[in-house]
Amino acid sequence: CVVCDDSQELCMFGNCSQCSNNFKMKIQDQMIDPFVIIKWSLWSTSKEGRTVKIDHEGTVQNCIHILQTKINHFLFHVFIKRQQSNFFEMLKKDVTDEKCLLQLDYAENYSIIEQNQIQSAHWSRKQLSIFTAHVWSQSKTYPLVIISDDSSHDKYTVAKCLEHLLERSKILLPSMKELIIFSDGSACQFKERFLFKNLTHLADQFSLKLSWNFFASHHGKGK
């Protein structure tokens, strides 16, 4: 392993005096023939903004060098992801009927397929937006979903979905006074200033103490 303890911040952030040189000793120095030609694949973003897998060919030395440039970011990401996930699980165990936990996210849009549709209809299917949520309290948990024919997923639809969710949650959990919210970090949906401004209004509207947390990047798609 490239770190001596993957639960310690010093190790995962590359600041541990005992394992900061592990990559060199356990990987770079273990190459038998650094000039052997091998193939590997990397995920990358194309000019069109699409995520694509690109095949590469080069020496073992070149491949290890590329790996070295990515390992620190990877370890940092893994540590943050695990810490945030552990924090979320801890909150789930500590909920009460007054202090509740809510996780929410957009699911993939649902395409409507009509029976016996003509061939050209395949390229013009209507879609439904699915906004999913789950709320935890000490006595009960509730899965919630909002289905809409507005598939824009922008700040306006998020604001309306939040209002509906809080309204429904207050009915299901009348003792609730505080709600801790978790989501992924989508910049166009959740991690933007309009949402936090709206939270202040929603907190007053529903007489709730609201807080918002984000999972690590590319995580948070359901727990």
- The domain locations on the chain are 9-85, 95-112+125-214
Instruction: Give the Cα separation of 143 and 48 in Å (integer).
Output: 37
Count CA atoms within 13 Å of residue 122 on its CB side: 4
Instruction: Give the Cα separation of 35 and 220 in Å (integer).
Output: 41
pLDDT value of residue 123:
66
Which stretches in the chain have pLDDT values below 50?
223
pLDDT value of residue 149:
87
The CATH number that domain 95-112+125-214 falls under is 3.30.420.10
pLDDT value of residue 109:
85
pLDDT value of residue 79:
93
Instruction: Give the Cα separation of 72 and 221 in Å (integer).
Output: 24
pLDDT value of residue 115:
73
Bin 2: left if φ > 0, else alpha if -120 < ψ < 50, else beta.
Answer: alpha
